Amino acid sequence: MDITGIRKDFPELEQKVHNHKLIYFDNAATSLKPFPVIEAIEEYYSKYNSNVHRAGHKISSLATIAYENARKKVAKFINAESNDEIIFTRGTTESINFLTDILQDSILNNGDEVVLTVMEHHSNIVPWVELRNTLGIDLKIIDINDKGELDIDDFGKWFSEKTKVLSITHSSNVLGTINPLKKIIKEAKKRGVVTIVDGAQGIVHSKVDVQDIDCDFYCFSGHKIYGAMGIGVLYGKRALLEVLPPYQQGGGMIEKVSFDNVVYSSVPYKFEAGTPNVGGAIALRTAIDYIESTGLEQIIEYEKELLDYATQKLLDIEHLTIYGTAVNKDPIISFGIAGIHHYDLSTLLDGFGIAMRSGHHCAQPLMNRLEIDGTSRISFSFYNTFEEIDYFTDKIKIVKKMLI
């Protein structure tokens, strides 16, 4: 890949931070945006900003076509069987809240069990804890081994005849572990369990094929795959979407309304009440175009090389521990250095222009499991370079000398 050329597409990389060239290693939180995505948003708002579906005029039909083309693009990107299986949301968090909301009105009852894993992001924990408190469901939490891989040799331990839902992350935003989704979902399906995948990280670094994974639902956010903030996706199998109740009520999701009765629209429109984020959907389509024209396979391969290189360099630093050493890993490295608080490290590295993250990464139960209060985390994208990793590890050594 022509990394120098690719970097020119990302205007944020041009700037200096504290008089140093920006090194952006916080990609798991959100990715930078390439020019085509920024231009797609500008073009929509300056040329054909209009509400979709409900008007007969020219610019509304342009907006509607672009919005529906975005749906088609997403469907093809994740190999959904039909465009109607793609629902636009605000992001992963809303997609999961959407599901906990509609499943409590349909599938889940008091005493039912929901299986999660200890490596979930808060967005796939908090809504379920709320449901435990309000509906009386039980939560079963799959544990990890020392490498940060799921303990799934004995499914009988985690699933019972009361299990109704499995909600699992595709990959961990802390450990980087890529979970063996197909294997787990196959076991869940054997037991008639509804399966939900939090793909917030997984969508960024894998070729997702929802039919092959065979999950019932797959959730992700546009902003982590070079799209805008405020747009996300909930993929759902059509057969389930047909029978589930809507998430929100209002305009755009109805066939007929009277004060006595409401007839809902068909899937997916019954799940998209109100004015959608049209500009966000169009930008997401452009982001996917950008990924495809760069080459997803090449991206994945290059990011893996960055991961391996950085892992080796970090392991050479004394007193440094890496959390998450799974065989299958996304390009995310969480680590700690004995004697240095992770906040001090990220603050001092910021002074050298390095943007990285420290803290619990919205995964406090995982921090408890690891018996730590937080980590430093770097996460790569295909615009990062080996030279940036060298610079980063050199600066860590300087900070170590300052603090220890």
| Residues making contact with ligand PLP (CB under 6 A) | 29, 91-93, 121, 123, 169, 173, 198, 200-201, 221
Closer of 48 and 127 to ligand PLP (Cβ):
127
219 classed as catalytic = no
Q: In the complex, what is the shortest distance from the CB of residue 196 to ligand PLP, in angstroms, rounded to a whole number?
A: 12
Q: In the complex, what is the shortest distance from the CB of residue 239 to ligand PLP, in angstroms, rounded to a whole number?
A: 26
Closer of 121 and 329 to ligand PLP (Cβ):
121
Closer of 366 and 399 to ligand PLP (Cβ):
366
Closer of 169 and 375 to ligand PLP (Cβ):
169
What is the gyration radius of the CA atoms in the chain, in angstroms? 22
Options 355, 362, 367, 372, the catalytic residue: 362
Q: In the complex, what is the shortest distance from the CB of residue 221 to ligand PLP, in angstroms, rounded to a whole number?
A: 3
Q: In the complex, what is the shortest distance from the CB of residue 378 to ligand PLP, in angstroms, rounded to a whole number?
A: 14
State the burial class of residue 316 (Cβ atoms within 10 Å of its Cβ: 0-12, 13-18, 19+): exposed
Q: In the complex, what is the shortest distance from the CB of residue 334 to ligand PLP, in angstroms, rounded to a whole number?
A: 12
Closer of 62 and 362 to ligand PLP (Cβ):
362
DSSP E strand boundaries for 238-349: 254-257, 262-264, 320-323, 332-337
**CA distance to 181, 199, 209, 300, per residue, from 206 (Å):** 12, 10, 9, 7
State the burial class of residue 18 (Cβ atoms within 10 Å of its Cβ: 0-12, 13-18, 19+): exposed
**CA distance to 360, 368, 373, per residue, from 365 (Å):** 9, 5, 10
State the burial class of residue 114 (Cβ atoms within 10 Å of its Cβ: 0-12, 13-18, 19+): buried
**So which residues are the catalytic ones?**
362
